[in-house]
């Protein structure tokens, strides 16, 4: 038997970059002692700098008092040696997304940490199962996938493998709750829940753009309007990083070989050209004083604009709803999981099944079918679960006796 969560005191975080620094902060704020490990002293100083900056900002914003801040500071130990992880109760790994680096780190963690210590990886796109198999304790290895920025985004995806024991899953789910996150627990599958629903939608936005159906501003604005999203897919792509988007598309493609998951050629070219979005200063947008694009005048764009059943925002949302309904249909995630993932991991005011509820299955299916007619999607047939939501003829004639269609 391993430790119960209540007995956890010390948490190791390996890699204090964009994600690791935020993850360490989240644990420290929840009262855990942290051993933050980096590759060398220079990286350690940078990692400490990330944490300092974030905590200072919280103090400035009045979200943290000076006193709380010094308590949090006191919980941190920084080290350039993994050997200092010998007495931690739980580890989160957040080193770069490369299997050779993960192999090196997990080999060491397995040797250094006590046999009962649970090891979690923050990987977005590598196989958690493969990472678990690098150790002699695969039953104690899980994915614990945070979202950027880790101190802000509430979602934590707990990824289990065929080897993970129920006890391990229970403990990690409990840990996630204790640090104030909203966990969803799913199996090890390409993109997990949030990225598998978000990135193909971003890719769809890029496809509409590259096929000159609309300008980047029209695409972004129409989705914001359709679903109340904080930003549109092209702005989001720039923020997430085009390289990250491409990597997720390629993982999904490798996993499923479904044409829906083939990366947009433009996305691939932009990554090849080094236009990765905000981090390189240029993606779909160039920055603040980038003038809006003029309207696209392609023949297909005209046809689409004239088609009543086609609204850019609704198209992108309909395809995402379809993806979600397939995921639910496959039994990979529940309706609640998919809604939680997009609400708490991606800032959606409503999740896909709620967006479906608002629109009704008929409207979503009509959009998908029209998209097919203009070859704007590779979805040939709407998801069975979506079709199943159509009110059947019997019901609408009043013979079905179904309470949900009652009323007037």
Residues in the site for ligand NAD, rule: CB under 6 A? 14-20, 37-39, 43, 47, 94-97, 101, 104-105, 122-124, 146, 148
Comparing CB distances to ligand NAD, the nearer of 82 and 207 is: 82
Comparing CB distances to ligand NAD, the nearer of 20 and 351 is: 20
DSSP string, 33-77: EEEEE-SSHHHHHHHHHHHHHHHHHHHHTTSS-HHHHHHHHHTEE
Given the residues 145, 163, 314, 370, select the one marked as catalytic.
145
Three-state secondary structure string covering 104-125: HHHHHHHHHCCCCCEEEECCCC
CB–CB of 206/159 below 8 Å?
Answer: no
195 is catalytic: yes
Return the structure tokens found at 184.
């969803």
User: What phi and psi, each to the nearest 5 degrees, are found at residue 277?
Assistant: 110, -150
Whole-number minimum distance, CB 18 to ligand NAD, in Å? 4
Q: Is 91 left (phi over 0), alpha (psi -120 to 50) or beta?
A: beta
Q: Which residue is listed with tokens 């694009």?
A: 293
Could you give the CA distance from residue 192 to residue 200 in angstroms, rounded to a whole number? Answer: 13
Instruction: Express the helix, strand and coil content of the chain in percent, nearest 5 each.
Output: 55, 10, 35
With H, G, I as helix, E, B as strand and everything else as coil, classify residue 305: helix
157 is catalytic: yes
Task: Give, as one character, the DSSP assignment of residue 159.
Answer: E
User: What are the distances in angstroms from CA 250 to CA 261, 263, 283, 338?
Assistant: 7, 7, 19, 21
Return the structure tokens found at 15.
């890699």
Separation of CA 285 from chain center: 22
Whole-number minimum distance, CB 149 to ligand NAD, in Å? 8
Given the residues 127, 195, 222, 370, select the one marked as catalytic.
195
User: What are the distances in angstroms from CA 82 to CA 105, 281, 331?
Assistant: 9, 35, 39
Comparing CB distances to ligand NAD, the nearer of 51 and 64 is: 51
Whole-number minimum distance, CB 348 to ligand NAD, in Å? 17
The residues that bridge with 159 in the sheet, in sequence order, are: 143, 186
Q: Which residue is listed with tokens 């640090």?
A: 179
Whole-number minimum distance, CB 329 to ligand NAD, in Å? 26
Could you give the CA distance from residue 189 to residue 180 in angstroms, rounded to a whole number? Answer: 25
CB atoms within 10 A of CB 390: 15
Most distant pair of Cα atoms in the chain: their distance: 74
Catalytic residue numbers read: 124, 145, 157, 195
């Amino acid at each position: 038997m391993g430790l119960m969560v209540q007995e956890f005191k010390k948490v190791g975080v390996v890699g204090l970059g964009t994600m690791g620094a935020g993850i360490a902060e989240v644990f420290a704020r929840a009262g855990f002692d942290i051993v933050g490990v980096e590759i060398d002293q220079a990286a350690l100083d940078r990692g400490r700098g990330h944490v300092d900056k974030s905590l200072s900002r919280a103090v400035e914003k009045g979200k943290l008092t000076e006193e709380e801040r010094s308590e949090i500071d006191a919980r941190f130990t920084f080290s350039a040696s993994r050997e200092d992880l010998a007495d931690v109760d739980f580890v989160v790994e957040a080193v770069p997304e490369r299997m050779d680096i993960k192999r090196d780190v997990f080999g060491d963690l397995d040797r250094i940490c006590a046999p009962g210590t649970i090891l979690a990886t923050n990987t977005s796109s590598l196989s958690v199962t493969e990472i678990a198999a690098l150790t002699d304790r695969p039953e104690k290895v899980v994915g614990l996938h945070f979202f950027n920025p880790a101190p802000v985004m509430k979602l934590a995806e707990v990824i289990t493998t065929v080897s993970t024991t129920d006890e391990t899953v229970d403990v990690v789910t409990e840990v996630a709750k204790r640090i104030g996150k909203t966990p969803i627990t799913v199996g090890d599958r390409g993109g997990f829940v949030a990225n598998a629903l978000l990135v193909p939608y971003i890719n769809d936005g890029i496809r509409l753009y590259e096929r000159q159906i609309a300008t980047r501003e029209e695409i972004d604005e129409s989705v914001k309007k359709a679903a109340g999203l904080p930003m549109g897919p092209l702005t989001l792509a720039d923020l997430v990083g085009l390289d990250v988007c491409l990597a997720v598309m390629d993982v999904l493609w490798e996993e499923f070989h479904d044409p829906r998951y083939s990366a947009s050629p433009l996305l691939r070219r932009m990554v090849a050209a080094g236009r990765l979005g905000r981090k390189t200063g240029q993606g779909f947008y160039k920055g603040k004083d980038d003038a809006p694009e003029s309207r696209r005048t392609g023949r297909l764009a005209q046809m689409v604009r004239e088609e009543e059943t086609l609204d850019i925002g609704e198209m992108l949302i309909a395809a995402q709803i379809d993806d979600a309904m397939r995921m639910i249909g496959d039994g990979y995630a529940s309706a609640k999981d998919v809604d939680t993932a997009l609400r708490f991991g991606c800032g959606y005011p409503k999740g896909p099944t709620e967006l479906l509820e608002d629109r009704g299955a008929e409207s979503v299916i009509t959009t998908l079918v029209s998209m097919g007619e203009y070859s704007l999607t590779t979805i040939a047939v709407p998801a069975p679960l979506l079709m199943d939501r159509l009110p059947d003829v019997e019901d609408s004639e009043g013979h079905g006796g179904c309470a949900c269609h009652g009323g007037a």
